Structure 1
Amino acid sequence: MNKRKQGYLRKIPAVNDLLAMDLGQKLINDYPRQLVVEGIREVTDKLRKQILDMELKKLNKFKIKKEEILDQVKEYLVNKTSDQLKAVVNATGVVVHTNLGRSLLCDAAKEKLQQVASKYSTLEINRESGERGSRYEIVEELLTELTGAEAALVVNNNASAVLLALSSLAQGKEAIIARGQLVEIGGSFRIPDVMKQSGVKLAEVGTTNRVHLADYKRAINEKTGVLLKVHTSNYEVVGFTKEVSLKGLVELGSEHGVPVVEDLGSGILVDLTPWGLSYEPTVQDSIKAGADVVTFSGDKLLGGPQAGIIVGKKEYIDQMKTHSLNRALRVDKFTLGALEATLQEYREIENARREIPTLQMLTVSEDELKKRAEKLAAKIKKVISLQFELKVEQDISRAGGGAFPTEELTTYVIKLAHQELSAEEIAERLRLNNPPVFTRISKGNVLLDLRTLQDEDFAYIVEALDSIRG
C-alpha cells in the first residue's frame, strides 16, 4: 500500500475519540450506545474505502474532520431509526396503487381498527353460550347478504383464496382453464404456479385469443376436478377473440357434476357504469350466473383491507373451512374488523360511493377535480420560487390494482417544471420529503394528480415544494 494512503488511514479517528466529543456524547444520549458505535464504524469503514480508492493526486485536498464524520453518523442514525413503513402522499393518479398500499380504508374501518386494537374483542367467542365461536361468522352473514351467495370465507389475500379453493376441490385432479386466462399479476404471481402449488394439474383449452364451449367439453374426463374461469382484470384481448360465458361454463359443469370456480381478481360489488366507467363484472353477477365458488380481493375495488374473499355454494365453502390449509391462511382481528366495517357501508350504494375512498376517487366529477386543482395551485403559487412554472391541465388517471386496464379517467393535474432542475430531480426531492410525495412524470414535467389527493395532503405538498429552491 502507498505510504501516503497509510498516513491518511492513520488519521481516521478511533471510535472512543469520536464518542468523547460533545456531539458524540449527544448522540449517545439520543440513541443506544451500541447503535452509535455501529454508526461510527459504518461511516469510518466507508471513509477508509474512499481513501483506498482515491487517486493520489486528489489526496492533497482531502481533509478528515471529526465533526463531519459525526454529522454522517447522525444521518446514519436518523435513517436507521426512522420508520420504514411511512404514510405518503399519493399524487400519481393511480387509485388502487399496489406499491403505495392499495386502497385507503373508510372512516368506519379506521374506527373499528382502533377499537379492536385497544380492547379485547368477540373474535372467536359466542356471546350467547360463552363458548368458543368462529371468527368467520363475523363477516359471513354480511357477505352472503351483499352477494347473494350461500356461504363465505375470508383468507389473507386472493392468491390464498384461489390456492385454498383448488386444494379443497380438486387436489390430485385436473382444473380446466382457457389458455388466454393463464394470467400473471403483480410480483410475478402466476395462476399456473398457484395451480401447481395446490396439487391440481393444469388442463389448458383453446388458444390465447379464442376458446369455445366445445373445447371444455372435449377436455372433461374422470380426472376433472373443477372448471376454472379467471377474469383478466389487468389486461384485455381485443380483436378476433372469443370466450365462454360464465353461464355457459356453469351449465356444462352442472351437466357433468363438476364445480365451477371463478377468480374475479379485483372484485367489485357496485356497477360503476352510471358514473361513466366501463362495465366490470360484479360478484353478484357471478353468483347469479350460478358460479359454485367466486374469489376476489378485499383491498382493490372493494376498498377494504388486504384479504381474499371466497363466496359460493355452502357445500364447497364448508370443505374449505375444514381444510388444513385454511388455518395457515386465516386472517386476524384487524382484517376482519376493517372488512366488516367496509362491508357495512355497502348496504346502501350511494353511501358506499361517498364513504369508501376507492369508490369516491373512481367516481368523482371532473368539475370537482378542476376546482380542487385550482385551489391547490393557488396555494402552491404563494410559496414556489420564480424558477418554477405551474399550470393546471386536464389529463388521464388510472384505476390501478389490476382493474379497468384500458379505462382512461379524465382528471385534472398540476403540471410543474423548473428552469434548473429536471423533472426527475424534482420528483426525487418530493419522494424524500417527510411525508414522501409520490408524483408522476410526463414529457419533462412533474404532475400532481388531484384524483388521488386528500384535502389534508395539500399542506404537505405546499411545504415540500416550498423547500425546493433550486
Structure 2
Amino acid sequence: MQTHPSDLYRKLPQVGELLHRSDFLRLQQTYSRELVAEALRSTLQELRGEINAGRHTEDSLDLELQSLSTKVAHSLRHATRPSLRPVLNATGVILQTNLGRAPLSEAAIQRIAEVARGYSNLEFDLESGERSRRDLHVERLIINVIALKSGQSPSDLAHKSAVVVNNCAAANFLALNTLAEGGEVLVSRGELVEIGGGFRVPDILRKSGAILREVGTTNRTRLSDYAAAITPQTRLILRVHRSNFRMEGFTERPALEELLDLGNRALLPVFEDQGTGCIVDLAEAGIHDESSWIQSASSDLALVACSGDKLLAGPQCGILVGSKPHLDRIRANPLFRALRVDKLTYAALEATLLAYLTATEETLPAIAMLRMPAEAIRARCVAMAERLRSTSAAMEVVETRSVVGGGTTPGASLASFAVALLPSHISETVFAANMRHLDPPVVVRIHEGRVLLDLRTIPPAEDALLTQLLRQALEPEQP
C-alpha cells in the first residue's frame, strides 16, 4: 500500500527539536545556531519538495532523515567556504589576469601580515607627531629604484614625484582628468586599445572629461600627424603601450624622443601609459623590444603610468611618476582620495621595490618564473611523469611555449616543457573540469586533445602536491 504524502510530511521533524539533538549541538560548536537553523530549514524544504514529487517511500525517507546531520554539515561547509581561493596555475601563463596576475613574494606577504596585524603609521609622521601623506611610504623607494636601474643618483631625479592608486586604468583616468579635463588629448589611432574585461582606452579618456583627438591611421602615425592636430584646445599628448597585440608589416610611429621634442616645442606635456612596469631586462629570457618602465620613468616625460602587478611583480596598483608640479596637481584632485590604495598595498609594494634595491628580485615569483631555465622545467616534468606512470593515463613530457600574459609582451613566448596527459576513462575536457574541483583547484590547458601542465607557473615546492592531486583526479574512488 502506497504511503500518502501527508503521512510522510508528518515524519519531518521540527527545526527547534533538531537543534537540541546531540549531532546538531556538535555542529553548533563550529557554526552559529542561526546558520545551522537556516541550513536545516533549507534541507527540510528540499525533502518536502521530493515528497511532493513522489520520490519517497517511508523507508527511503527514514534513510534520508538518518543522514540529515551529514547533509546539513555538507551544506554548511559549502556555504561557509571562501569564494576567493588559492589555485595551482599549470597553464604556463605567468601573469594570468583571471588568476590574479603576479603572485606576491614571501617578503611582501610578511610585510602585509605585519602591517595588518595592528595599527601603523599610514598617515602619521612619527617625527613630528602630525598627520602625513600615505604615499610618502613608497615615493622615495620608487624614485630610488628608477635612479638605481637607470644608472643615475636619486638627486638627478629630485624634480620627480610619484603617487600610487588602485590600478593602471585609475592612474590613466586620474592623470587625464587632472591635466586635460575639457581639453583635447592627442592619441594615435593605432594605440586606441581594448584591455581585459571590455575596457577601452577611448572610453576611459572620455569619462575623464578630456576630448579624444585621434591622429594618424591604424597602422601608420607620423610625428607630422601629431603636429598638425595641435590646437589651442590641446592639453596633452598621450602615448599608449600596445599591451595585448603586436602590429607588424607596413607600420610606423614616432619614437618617444620625437614626441618629447614636439611636446617641448608646443609647450604640451607628454604622458605615456607604459603599462607593464618592466624593470628587468627581458632579453635574457629571449624577449626583445619590450617597453621599459625604467627608461620611460627616468626620461623627460611629464607623466608615466604603469601597473604594479604585471612585470613589476608586485601587488595590484597603478603607479604615476612624473614632474612634481603635475603630481602636486594630481594629489590635489578630489578623485585621488577615491582612487587611493590601502595600507596592505603599500606594505606589499614596499617589499617588492626593496627586492630591486637589494638585488634580490629573484625572490619575486613572477621574475623567478621568467628566468627559470627550460631544462630545469623539463627535469621536473620528467620526475613528475615518472611518479604518475602507474595511473590510468597516457603521458609524456613535451616541449611547449610559456607566455608572460597580463597584457605584456604580445607575440613573445618562452621555451618550456609540460607533462601531457591523455586520460583513459574520461575526456580531456571532463578531466580539466575535475581538476578545477580539487582542493586546491588546478587550472590546466588543453592542446590538441591532451591536457598540458606547464610547470613554469608551478612553484617547485608544490610539485609533490600537484602530483598528489593529479593522482587523485586520474584514479577517482570507486563507488
Shared fold (TM-score, shorter chain, > 0.5): yes
Residue 380 of structure 2 is aligned to residue 360 of structure 1: no
Query: In 2, are the aligned partners of 1:397 and 1:410 still within 8 Å (CA)?
Result: yes
Q: Counterpart of 1:216 in 2: which secondary structure?
A: helix
AA at the equivalent of 2:34: Q
* 1:274-285 superposed matches below 5 A: 274-285=284-295
Residue 412 of structure 2 is aligned to residue 432 of structure 1: no
- Measure the CA separation in 1 of the matches of 2:25 and 2:143: 62
- String of CA shifts for 1:89-131, please: whole Å, max 9, x gaps: 1111110111212111223222222222235433223343333
Q: Offset of 1:73 from its aligned partner?
A: 2.3
Deviates more, 1:116-125 or 1:217-226: 116-125
Residue 404 of structure 2 is aligned to residue 405 of structure 1: no
Alignment partner for residue 393 of structure 1, among 387, 394, 398? 398
Deviates more, 1:32-41 or 1:298-307: 32-41
- Measure the CA separation in 1 of the matches of 2:350 and 2:18: 55
Q: How has the CA–CA distance of structure 1 residues 8 and 253 changed in structure 2, closer, same or farther, with 3 Å as cutoff? A: farther
Q: Counterpart of 2:108 in 1: which secondary structure?
A: helix
Q: How has the CA–CA distance of structure 1 residues 61 and 309 changed in structure 2, closer, same or farther, with 3 Å as cutoff? A: same
AA at the equivalent of 2:350: E
- Measure the CA separation in 2 of the matches of 1:119 and 1:32: 27
Q: Offset of 1:145 from its aligned partner?
A: 2.4
- Measure the CA separation in 1 of the matches of 2:58 and 2:260: 78
Query: In 2, are the aligned partners of 1:165 and 1:320 still within 8 Å (CA)?
Result: yes
Q: Counterpart of 1:72 in 2: which secondary structure?
A: helix
AA at the equivalent of 2:293: V
1:217 is aligned to: 227
Alignment partner for residue 446 of structure 1, among 440, 448, 451? 451
2:142 is aligned to: 143
- Measure the CA separation in 1 of the matches of 2:219 and 2:59: 65
- Measure the CA separation in 2 of the matches of 1:183 and 1:155: 21
1:110 is aligned to: 109
* 1:372-387 superposed matches below 5 A: 372-381=380-389, 385=391, 387=392
2:252 is aligned to: 242
Residue 267 of structure 2 is aligned to residue 254 of structure 1: no
- Measure the CA separation in 2 of the matches of 1:282 and 1:5: 73
Q: Offset of 1:48 from its aligned partner?
A: 4.5
- Measure the CA separation in 2 of the matches of 1:13 and 1:394: 61
AA at the equivalent of 1:143: I
What runs of 5+ residues in structure 2 fail to find an aligned partner?
148-156
Q: How has the CA–CA distance of structure 1 residues 67 and 212 changed in structure 2, closer, same or farther, with 3 Å as cutoff? A: farther
- Measure the CA separation in 2 of the matches of 1:48 and 1:209: 65
- Measure the CA separation in 1 of the matches of 2:443 and 2:13: 40
Q: Counterpart of 1:172 in 2: which secondary structure?
A: coil
1:189 is aligned to: 199
- Measure the CA separation in 2 of the matches of 1:63 and 1:203: 72
Residue 70 of structure 2 is aligned to residue 71 of structure 1: yes
Q: How has the CA–CA distance of structure 1 residues 98 and 47 changed in structure 2, closer, same or farther, with 3 Å as cutoff? A: farther
1:323 is aligned to: 333
Q: Offset of 1:159 from its aligned partner?
A: 1.0
Q: Offset of 1:171 from its aligned partner?
A: 1.0
Residue 460 of structure 2 is aligned to residue 455 of structure 1: yes
* 1:255-334 superposed matches below 5 A: 255-334=265-344
Q: How has the CA–CA distance of structure 1 residues 162 and 60 changed in structure 2, closer, same or farther, with 3 Å as cutoff? A: same
Query: In 1, are the aligned partners of 2:186 and 2:214 still within 8 Å (CA)?
Result: yes
Query: In 2, are the aligned partners of 1:18 and 1:70 still within 8 Å (CA)?
Result: no
Q: Counterpart of 2:440 in 1: which secondary structure?
A: coil
Deviates more, 1:221-230 or 1:432-441: 432-441
Query: In 1, are the aligned partners of 2:274 and 2:304 still within 8 Å (CA)?
Result: yes
Q: How has the CA–CA distance of structure 1 residues 18 and 225 changed in structure 2, closer, same or farther, with 3 Å as cutoff? A: same
Give TM-score, length-normalised by structure 2: 0.89
AA at the equivalent of 1:409: L
2:421 is aligned to: 416
* 1:22-41 superposed matches below 5 A: 22-41=22-41
- Measure the CA separation in 1 of the matches of 2:225 and 2:397: 53
Q: Counterpart of 1:448 in 2: which secondary structure?
A: strand
Q: Counterpart of 2:113 in 1: which secondary structure?
A: helix
Q: Offset of 1:14 from its aligned partner?
A: 4.4
- Measure the CA separation in 1 of the matches of 2:467 and 2:400: 21
Q: Counterpart of 1:318 in 2: which secondary structure?
A: helix
- Measure the CA separation in 1 of the matches of 2:420 and 2:13: 49
Q: Counterpart of 2:28 in 1: which secondary structure?
A: helix
Q: Offset of 1:447 from its aligned partner?
A: 1.7
Query: In 1, are the aligned partners of 2:374 and 2:416 still within 8 Å (CA)?
Result: yes
Query: In 2, are the aligned partners of 1:435 and 1:460 still within 8 Å (CA)?
Result: no
Query: In 1, are the aligned partners of 2:8 and 2:58 still within 8 Å (CA)?
Result: no
- Measure the CA separation in 1 of the matches of 2:244 and 2:47: 48
AA at the equivalent of 1:402: G
- Measure the CA separation in 1 of the matches of 2:58 and 2:248: 64
- Measure the CA separation in 1 of the matches of 2:51 and 2:192: 54
